[in-house]
């Protein structure tokens, strides 16, 4: 009952083979579920799409039901991504270089983990000579502003999807269905 032991150890099996676990909802999930996706780290599976003159975005996932989108943001040399206001939750992990926000006192280097929440506005900068690459898992709208705090545009899952599909169309690249879940 309640005294069932909770293990803090590694899982019990190290067998290097597929184990067919019992699934009470197998039929239901086959009819109503969806499959996971995989996008390899190469230009064929998802190209770097220009995002201004000093940045590019490598799109990884679009989920229109939850307004979720994932990508790698590459800022190629020291520079700024304009001030933006979040209406959803953001998770980021730095892969290369370093990055910080003008509003905070920390510097994120490879392995550094960042969470952002609705209601935050901030200005992303890199001062690293080789810029930065950041993995992001993002939800909800991001409102971008110019240096005079005038609203510029809203980026959400539709904006990011359009950014990807427009580039593919203009460059005769196939749309990778693995980006859509
Ligand atoms: Fe942000």
Q: How far is the CA of 90 from the centre of ligand 1 (A)?
A: 7
Report yes or no on 72 lying in a domain: yes
pLDDT at 61 (0 to 100): 98
Confidence check: pLDDT of 166 > 70: yes
Is 29 part of a structural domain of the chain?
A: no
Do 69 and 157 meet the contact criterion of CB atoms below 8 Å apart? Answer: yes
Mean pLDDT of 28-44: 96
93, pLDDT greater than 70: yes
Q: What is the pTM of this model?
A: 0.93
Tally the domains of the chain. 1
Query: Which CATH number is 57's domain given?
Result: 2.60.120.10
pLDDT on residue 2: 62
Q: How far is the CA of 36 from the centre of ligand 1 (A)?
A: 27
| Tens digits of residue pLDDT in 94-105 | 999 999 999 999
For residue 143, is it within any domain? yes
Cα of 20 to ligand 1 centre, how many Å?
42
DSSP 8-state assignment for residue 177:
G
Distance 18 CA to ligand 1 centre (A): 40
The rounded Å distance from CA 117 to ligand 1 centre is 9
Please enumerate in sequence order all residues whose Cβ is within 8 A of that of 112, keeping only pairs 6 or more positions apart, or say none. 93, 94
- CA 21 to centroid of ligand 1, rounded, Å: 40
What pLDDT was estimated at residue 1?
54
Distance 15 CA to ligand 1 centre (A): 42
For residue 6, the model assigns a pLDDT of: 87
Computed over every residue of the chain, the mean pLDDT equals: 96
The boundaries of the domain holding residue 108 are 48-179
In a domain, 31, yes or no: no
Q: Quote the ligand 1 centre to 116 CA distance (angstroms).
A: 6
Instruction: Find the 154 Cα to ligand 1 centroid distance in Å.
Output: 13
Instruction: Indicate if the pLDDT at residue 4 is higher than 80.
Output: no
* Residue 10 confidence class, pLDDT cut points 50, 70, 90: very high
19: CA distance to ligand 1 center in Å? 41
């Amino acid at each position: 009952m309640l005294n069932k032991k909770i293990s803090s150890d590694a899982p019990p099996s190290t067998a290097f083979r597929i184990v067919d676990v019992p699934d009470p909802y197998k039929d239901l999930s086959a009819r109503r579920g969806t499959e996971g996706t995989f996008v390899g780290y190469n230009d064929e599976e998802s190209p770097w799409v220009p995002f201004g003159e000093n940045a590019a975005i490598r799109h990884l996932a679009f989920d229109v039901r939850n307004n979720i989108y994932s990508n790698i943001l590459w800022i190629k040399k020291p520079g700024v991504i304009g001030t933006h206001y979040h209406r959803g939750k953001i998770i980021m992990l730095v892969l290369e270089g370093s990055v910080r926000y003008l509003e905070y006192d920390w510097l994120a280097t490879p392995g550094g983990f960042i969470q952002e929440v609705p209601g935050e506005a901030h200005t992303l900068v890199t001062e690293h000579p080789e810029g930065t690459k950041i993995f992001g898992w993002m939800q909800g709208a991001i409102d971008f502003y110019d240096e005079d705090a005038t609203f510029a545009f809203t980026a959400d899952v539709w904006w990011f999807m359009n950014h990807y599909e427009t580039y593919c169309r203009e460059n005769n690249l196939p749309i990778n269905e693995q980006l859509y879940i």
